Structure 1
Amino acid sequence: MSILFGKVASYFIWIVIVLVVWEVISRYLLNAPTVWTQGYVQRFFAAYFILIGAYTLVRNSHVRVDLVLGTSSPRWNAFTDLLNYSLLFIWAAALCWEGWEYFFDAWRFNELDSGALRHPMWPVKLSLVIGMGLMALQAAAEIIRAIVLIINPKKEVPRVVST
């Protein structure tokens, strides 16, 4: 699921690029800036940023500090991963839980942004719920992987990653 959502969300960046190019052309070449582009760019980039997190985690592409990990044993590395991913799970689950309340209120009360076009706010808040839910699930998978490596540091625990 993390890979699927990550790949779908990765196309949001192309939408952002098209919108920004359109705004530059309309503003500087046509002398007719838009009032809607900024809001859509913010929403698509926010959704992209939130939804791509679990994909980045499954690809092991988040920034890590290897000062401690580079010189340690595999069991110690797995233990620090267990601590880190446990904290990540708690953080992501809490954001997912609270995000649901924000999403539900925005949807129920038809919350609109303060911009000129008054866009609905629930889609971005829903992306927070989905993205943090995926991040919590991926953190749980990493916790299981770390526990297996603590028990048996020589065990090869493959990552299921498609390109």
Structure 2
Amino acid sequence: MPNWTRTYVRFVEALNYRIGRFAMYLLFVLMAVMLWSSFARAALTPAIWTDEMGQFLMVGYFMLGGAYALQMDSAVRMDLLYSRWNDRTKAFVDVVTIFALLFYLGVLLFGGIESTAYAIEYDERRRGLWRPVMWPVKTVMCVGITLMLLQCTAILFKDVAKLKGEEL
């Protein structure tokens, strides 16, 4: 494999590893927000921002952690036949099927960018009492999808190298 593919794979995996580890800690922030919500409902007046903030944190957790899950091979897969195959057969099937995932993520990113641009241009806000702006969470979604696209291409390069008998 060319040297640039090795550099690309190393860079993408290092980036996704760090961002994925950061995203793991968003769960603790989410727990703090939900704990505050419970406390405020029981002892004080209910906070109007906690439910939506919890939803936004969960979006960040899932979207920023998605590429890390792909990298660690912890994504859910139909394992009826896959586990019985040798590494080269797995790599071949992954090379063929990853294009469907790349297409799906590309369409998702296209829609996400258009939705984010709309949210910025028209100051889109969520309905409800708190009315938070939507562009930050939509931007996080676009970043997460981009990271997944980068990780999928890194996985593709690794699988092609595996088919050639090399390791990246």
Q: The TM-score by the shorter chain falls in which range?
A: 0.7 to 0.9
Q: CA deviation at 1:143?
A: 0.7
Give the structure with the higher percent helix.
2
- Distance in 2, Cα, partners of 1:73 & 1:20: 45
Asked whether 1:6 is paired with 2:20, we answer yes
Name the structure 2 match of 1:122. Answer: 135
Contact 1:39–1:115 (CA under 8 A) maintained in structure 2: no
Q: CA deviation at 1:69?
A: 1.7
Contact 1:86–1:139 (CA under 8 A) maintained in structure 2: no
Contact 2:158–2:167 (CA under 8 A) maintained in structure 1: no
CA RMSD, Structure 1 to Structure 2 (Å): 1.4
Contact 2:91–2:162 (CA under 8 A) maintained in structure 1: yes
Amino acid at match of 1:128: M
Report the number of matched residues: 154
Gaps of 5+ in 1: 158-163
- Distance in 2, Cα, partners of 1:18 & 1:39: 14
Amino acid at match of 2:90: N
Deviates more, 1:120-129 or 1:92-101: 92-101
- Distance in 2, Cα, partners of 1:35 & 1:73: 53
Name the structure 1 match of 2:32. Answer: 18
- TM-score, reference length from structure 1: 0.88
- Distance in 1, Cα, partners of 2:87 & 2:62: 31
Gaps of 5+ in 2: 1-14
Secondary structure of the equivalent of 1:66? coil
Q: CA deviation at 1:31?
A: 4.7
Name the structure 2 match of 1:105. Answer: 118
Deviates more, 1:45-54 or 1:87-96: 87-96
